[in-house]
Structure 1
């Protein structure tokens, strides 16, 4: 093997410390949501009407079930293997009162599922499709549900292992989507068709 054939692993230094990020995030305007993904500052676009409706639709589904966990909107989580990531998923499924007494950023232990809905912003959506699945898997979150309005599809990631989800299933809007344990529910995604814009 020649020197040219040896893969070079480039270590990216974080743009700032986690303390500097949290200070910056505390002082950001309410209209700006900041996240820290793989040591990089990311700006998350706030929800438009359709994105808000999708989260409300999911919240209603869980509210109608007896003894169901709660779907919390925009709950701050510590992610990645070292818990140095800071993200605000569109939805976090966890037991009732799970986050009582927590500060702005919670450890993901006990979280059943995270939900992200694409926003139409290329930078934000790149993180949602490309960076966040690995961060959620590395944090041990059992299920990640991606609702991709651009692609009109639902992607279910599960079986986190070694910082990646081992299983991924992509289905079109309108399909019945089985969310595996510990979520264990089947979603009729037909209503998502009206919110795809």
Structure 2
């Protein structure tokens, strides 16, 4: 059995709260501590735009920004995705780290940092699939693409749809709408 140091959730929460006061965001995914870049203005605009699209197509759902989730697969972990699509009220009564059982889609927008490739393109899809999140939408500002990961099975997504910014992309059930990605061209470097 491989030996890996473990961190209890309470320890992580204490460290993450202290780091956030200093302007750094931490995540604990697959038993590993990671640093997440603070979002820039274009990142915020993408989340604002996507929130509006979700409300237009699925008004009974809400895209919760930075919702802390318990991602308890493989190892204990916590993540704060850029957006978490779930029914309104899904997280009522839960603390900072909520259970993901009502989550329909996770959204991540890449940051311009060295850790994006490993974090957003490898670790998070695996963790979200293992957790059973039906859809993972990655807005990749480095490659100017939208990627939709779906159909989680045995710890990975079995279907990945990739479209360049400017092309429509289908977000499958249980979300179920088409997203026109043309506006995303305005929020990349």
- Asked if TM exceeds 0.5, the reply is yes
Give me the TM-score of the superposition, normalised by structure 2: 0.93
Greater C-alpha radius of gyration: 1
After superposition, residues 21-32 of structure 1 pair within 5 angstroms as 21-30=12-21, 31-32=23-24
Contact 1:118 1:148 (C-alpha < 8 Å) held by counterparts:
yes
**Could you list the per-position Cα deviations for residues 118-175 of structure 1 after superposition, in whole angstroms to 9, with x for gaps in the alignment?**
0011114420111000000011100000000000001100000111001111110011
Contact 2:28 2:78 (C-alpha < 8 Å) held by counterparts:
yes
- Select which of 103, 107, 117 maps to 1:115: 107
Give me the TM-score of the superposition, normalised by structure 1: 0.90
1:75 aligns to what? 67
- Select which of 148, 156, 159 maps to 1:167: 159
Superposition deviation, residue 67 in structure 1:
3.5
The answer for unaligned runs of 5 or more in structure 2 is none
2:47 aligns to what? 55
After superposition, residues 40-51 of structure 1 pair within 5 angstroms as 40-51=32-43
**Could you list the per-position Cα deviations for residues 64-119 of structure 1 after superposition, in whole angstroms to 9, with x for gaps in the alignment?**
34643000101011114257121110000000111111111111101000000000
Provide the C-alpha distance between the structure 1 equivalents of 2:58 and 2:173, rounded to a whole number of angstroms: 17
Superposition deviation, residue 12 in structure 1:
5.3
After superposition, residues 123-138 of structure 1 pair within 5 angstroms as 123-138=115-130
Which ranges of 4 or more aligned residues in structure 1 deviate by more than 6 Å? Answer: none
1:97 and 2:89 aligned: yes
- Select which of 1, 11, 17 maps to 2:2: 11
The answer for unaligned runs of 5 or more in structure 1 is 1-9
Root mean square deviation of aligned Cα: 1.6
> How many residues are paired up?
188
2:178 aligns to what? 186
Contact 1:85 1:135 (C-alpha < 8 Å) held by counterparts:
no
Contact 1:14 1:40 (C-alpha < 8 Å) held by counterparts:
no
Provide the C-alpha distance between the structure 2 equivalents of 1:19 and 1:186, rounded to a whole number of angstroms: 40
Provide the C-alpha distance between the structure 1 equivalents of 2:133 and 2:104, rounded to a whole number of angstroms: 6
Superposition deviation, residue 14 in structure 1:
3.3
- Select which of 29, 36, 47 maps to 1:37: 29
